[in-house]
């Protein structure tokens, strides 16, 4: 999709469709008031007929409005003006795109961002318009014929701003939003591919292709023999049950000074997780192709950083493997040795994500990181605790926690901080190893984070459990691309590029 910025007299803009906001009780937003005046009160006259009251997400398409150059006018309900929240705004945006996808307009001009939601800046309102639109027009088609595809898909969205003074901020918002949207799309595509196509080797090939597009990005793929030399016994214990060799994908983006410490992102890349010997129930096991969404999020964030040419250094690490039952697979009761030298008793082979992550977290030490953030579809317990709205955030670093929470709020990719108290560590005690790989049913997401924390003593670290946010189930089954918006927001903040965004 293409996004543009325009200003000037709305009534004179030629566009296949002009999008205007209407609040409850048929109150026109300011841009709609200007169009209504130019049309001789036509909008007010139509609203009096009662077909649209302004409820959030309701729409009404008008044709041949007098005095208006636009071919169509789409009125979109935004709810109560005094209670116009960001959630309502994004709902209105989504409804608008859904209608436009069903028309033959192809292009449109939207004014919805001009009616600022409570607490929303012009920059974020315009960026939301880009990311929400891109999210709604995305359709998966790599392995199926998309028979429901729009006959005239929305190709271009022009965002109207009231004054020329807003143009610079608007262009920055569009640029950032487009990069975030592209990263989200990449993460969705990787997540939606089936496990027989999106293997560890496929992910490695995609990483090489991505690096070939950007001068500042390089990639190194560690093979199993190299991991063996490094002592990555935990990671390799998972891949032994699969015919697909594990890969450790290492992105290096050099956008800052040579001596600048990098941000390190670590993403769990289980391209399919059957649970190993502790096999999962058959129902909905197909969704375990999404167990690599942490890795997909790293891909998306790295791509966005490259497209925005961010002035920082970034390392992205994706341990990629499958977890399948086999004669060589981990067995409950096995003792394995991690790269850190710590031993682990495997009580449940379905708690494998932490095994591939712990060695990767130890490997992260060599980059002398400014901060390490890992992201993983790690525990069903986190879904039970928080549902599908926020990702779980675990860190003992209060300052880092606040940074990530603020970024989540601004990106509308929110997190909720969970405890990481020493009290929980005893649940990982083992009679036969330094630790067990599970800590029992109680506080399962917390004890998983506690396990990872034992490998992060030498740097600042946070863990994101995205099991509830990385994909949707049911009728809307598919990858969401989260937490790419959150990660890119963190990178933008650390780059100092948001200071003038307003």
**466 closest CA partner among 315, 353, 322:** 353
Asked if 321 contacts 244 with a C-beta cutoff of 8 angstroms, the reply is yes
Contact (Cβ atoms closer than 8 angstroms) between residue 482 and residue 463 = no
At 249, give phi and psi (nearest 5°): -90, 130
User: What's the first-to-final CA gap in the chain, in angstroms?
Assistant: 25
User: Distance between CA atoms of 321 and 271, rounded to whole angstroms?
Assistant: 6
Instruction: Choose the catalytic residue: 6, 216, 280, 331.
Output: 280
Backbone angles phi, psi at 397, to 5 degrees: -95, 105
Percentages (nearest 5) of helix, strand, coil residues in the chain: 40, 20, 40
Question: Is the CB of residue 5 less than 8 Å from the CB of residue 170?
Answer: yes
Interacting residues of 291 by C-beta distance below 8 A, sequence separation 6+: 268, 270, 271, 272, 273, 323, 353, 377
Q: Is 280 a catalytic residue?
A: yes
Task: Compute the Cα dihedral for 138, 143, 148, 154 and give only its sign.
Answer: positive
Helix 484-495 with 293-307: angle, nearest 10 deg: 40
- Asked whether the beta carbons of 317 and 364 are under 8 A apart, the reply is yes
User: Whole-angstrom Cα distance, residue 465 to residue 374?
Assistant: 9
Kindly compute the dihedral angle of the four CA atoms of residues 13, 2, 482, 386, in this order, to the nearest 10 degrees. Answer: 10
Query: Is 25 designated active site?
Result: no
In a 10 Å sphere around its CB, with 0-12 CB exposed, 13-18 middle and 19+ buried, how is residue 457 labelled?
A: exposed
| Annotated catalytic residue within 90, 127, 268, 354 | 354
Work out the number of other CB atoms within 10 angstroms of the CB of residue 392.
Answer: 26
Report which DSSP code applies to 499.
Answer: T
Tokens 């390799």, residue located: 236
Given phi > 0 = left and psi -120 to 50 = alpha, else beta, which region is 474?
left
Would you tell me how many other CB atoms lie within 10 Å of the CB of residue 147?
A: 6
The alpha helices in 350-496, defined as continuous H runs, are 353-363, 380-386, 398-411, 444-453, 484-495
Closest CA to 24 of 104, 80, 103, 102: 80
- Give the C-alpha separation, 208 to 318, whole Å: 13
In angstroms, what CA-CA distances link 277 with 231, 296, 333, 337? Answer: 23, 26, 11, 19
Catalytic residues: 280, 354
């Amino acid at each position: 999709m293409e996004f543009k910025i325009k200003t000037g007299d709305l009534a004179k803009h030629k566009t296949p469709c002009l999008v205007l906001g209407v609040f409850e009780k048929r109150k026109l937003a300011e841009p709609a008031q200007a169009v209504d005046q130019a049309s001789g009160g036509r909008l007010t006259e139509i609203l009096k007929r009662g077909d649209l009251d302004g409820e959030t997400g309701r729409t009404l398409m008008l044709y041949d409005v007098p005095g208006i150059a636009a071919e169509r006018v789409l009125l979109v309900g935004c709810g109560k003006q005094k209670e116009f929240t960001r959630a309502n705004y994004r709902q209105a945006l989504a409804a608008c795109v859904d209608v436009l996808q069903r028309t033959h307009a192809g292009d449109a001009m939207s004014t919805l961002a001009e009616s600022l939601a409570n607490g929303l800046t012009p920059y974020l309102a315009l960026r939301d318009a880009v990311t929400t639109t891109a999210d709604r027009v995305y359709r998966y088609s790599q392995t199926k014929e998309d028979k429901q595809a729009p006959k005239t898909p929305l190709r271009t969205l022009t965002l109207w701003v009231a004054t020329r003074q807003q143009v610079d901020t608007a262009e920055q918002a569009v640029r950032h939003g487009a990069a975030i949207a592209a990263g989200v799309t990449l993460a969705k595509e990787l997540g939606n591919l089936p496990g027989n196509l999106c293997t560890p080797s496929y992910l490695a090939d995609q990483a090489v292709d991505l690096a070939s597009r950007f001068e500042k990005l390089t990639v190194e793929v560690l093979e199993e023999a190299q991991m063996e030399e490094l002592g990555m016994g935990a990671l390799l214990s998972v891949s032994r049950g699969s015919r697909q060799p594990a890969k450790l994908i290492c992105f290096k983006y050099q956008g800052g000074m040579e001596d600048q410490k990098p941000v390190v992102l670590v993403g769990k890349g289980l391209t399919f997780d059957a649970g190993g010997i502790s096999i999962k129930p058959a129902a909905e096991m197909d969704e375990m192709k999404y167990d690599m969404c942490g890795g997909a999020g790293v891909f998306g964030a790295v791509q966005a950083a490259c497209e925005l040419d961010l002035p920082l250094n970034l390392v992205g690490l994706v341990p990629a493997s499958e977890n399948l039952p086999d004669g060589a697979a981990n067995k409950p009761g096995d003792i394995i040795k991690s790269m850190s030298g710590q031993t682990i008793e495997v009580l449940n082979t379905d708690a494998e994500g932490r095994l591939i992550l712990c060695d990767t977290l130890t490997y992260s030490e060599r980059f002398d990181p400014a901060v390490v953030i890992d992201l993983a579809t790690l525990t069903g317990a986190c879904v039970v605790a928080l549902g599908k709205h926020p990702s779980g955030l675990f860190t003992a670093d209060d300052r880092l926690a606040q940074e990530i929470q603020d970024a989540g709020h601004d990106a509308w990719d929110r997190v909720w901080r969970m405890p990481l108290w020493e009290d929980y560590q005893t649940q990982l005690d083992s009679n036969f190893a330094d630790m067990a790989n599970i800590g029992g049913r109680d506080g399962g997401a917390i004890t998983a984070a506690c396990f990872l924390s034992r490998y992060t003593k030498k740097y600042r670290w946070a863990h994101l459990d995205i099991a509830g946010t990385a994909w949707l189930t049911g009728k809307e089954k598919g990858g969401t691309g989260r937490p790419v918006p959150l990660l890119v927001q963190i990178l933008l903040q650390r780059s100092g590029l948001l200071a003038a965004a307003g």
